Chain A
């Protein structure tokens, strides 16, 4: 068997693919990478198809012992990448030989790095996906929703690529820049007063430390929540901006539940969810409106490039 031995797993490293799709009618969360952009680039650099299983490494701190000659790529959070102590560029692919050690340092900016390997890491698919969902106990290396642990074996095939490659500079996001996140208003937006809706866009928000893969809680001047127009829970989608009674919005992320009952103000642009995923706790966030058709056109272009 070829692959990598996990010497140090880091605080939260999870095997992910394109998500567990097609089971939401039974309450199964889609999961998948929080930053689909960085994940897509990591796979792309290696010639892997969209959704090839890779590792989402939150905050860094990963150490692997290689038992295979292959190529890897790291995209996302800015952190030190070293093979036997030799620095490797982020947003790039590089070779590793059997016997070498790969080390990812702690993130200097951004929160999540994506480590991909040619052909993907081997996992046990459940309901058609290896995506780790800790709450549901699905996916991951052992099929029980567990995060990576010391001593785990990350299986993969040997492979050779002709040379280094990097993501074009213009496509590498700057996680230091203050994020302005685009929102498609809708849902119950009309039942919020005009003042409240404008207030949402005018005021700064902050990312609460109570944020996980299920949802990003925000804090700021509380919104006045309209009387519930919807009494019955309904299906929800990723990026949905829920406003519970306390007036502090929650943005639903990859590990979200399938149904919800809170009033919705709208949805984050799917291509701005990656930026949100890279924000540290207490980060200041601002929002601006985007039209549905503009968001769809841009997302379609993204999909055609990475999935087409």
Chain B
């Protein structure tokens, strides 16, 4: 059952499911687009996440009860419709697996380094949420053998392009930032560019696979050391 909860004076939280699943992210992306069209300028911001959608609205253009009234039929229709199994695009991201924590992760998981790389690059991921920092895409679901808690002490500086894992998720840090995840490698591509028509390379619900590359390819693709 969907829950609609106030999230402060100017936002409404739609809790769409108790647990995320592979299709939910795609379905939430579809719902987000419908809400965007329905609300027009009354919508300030829309934040899709694993199991929820946060609707930031303009109090001068729509009231809380009006908003609930407009969203209810949309949500009812979305809830009962059959999930669309339209093919979602697959993005292949090159990774130079030479991260600072690669050896430590291998040791903690009782695997060899090449087994870690194989386990990480051997599965397909889905973008479940984008947040934390511009373009930071949470990808799931990590091979069970690689599941580790976050580092006890976060790093104050993680370089841009770092591929990292924590719990059942993996992600690439689009910009240099502090971070508490385990670093496995680096992606040479720029994943968030505010000047591009589509600033974020990854989209909610998109499928992602990591392709191991060597140091020379990493540099040739524009990667920095």
Contact = CB atoms under 8 A, between A and B. Distances in A.
Q: Do A and B bind each other?
A: yes
Contact of A25 (B47, B138, B194): B47
Interface stretch (A55-63, A196-204, A296-304): A296-304
Contacts of B63: 296
Contacts of B15: 234
Interface residues of B, number: 44
Contacts of A127: 194, 199
Interface in B18-75: 19-20, 32, 44-54, 56, 59-60, 63-64
Contacts of A234: 13, 15, 47, 49-52, 54
A119 interface: no
Interface string A252-270: 0000011100000001011
Interface residues of A, number: 44
- A interface majority secondary structure: loop
Contacts of B132: 27, 257-259
Given A235-B47, A235-B53, A258-B47, A26 B8 contact: no
A89 interface: no
B48 A25 contact: yes
A299 to B, nearest CB: 5
B9 A295 contact: yes
B177 interface: yes
Nearest to A143: B194
Interface of B: 5-11, 13, 15, 19-20, 32, 44-54, 56, 59-60, 63-64, 129-136, 138, 175, 177, 192, 194, 199-200, 204
17 contacts: A26-B130, A26-B135, A27-B131, A27-B134, A135-B177, A138-B194, A184-B6, A186-B7, A232-B20, A232-B51, A233-B129, A233-B138, A234-B54, A259-B131, A292-B64, A296-B64, A299-B9
Closest 5 A/B residue pairs (Cβ): A235-B54, A235-B47, A259-B131, A267-B8, A232-B50
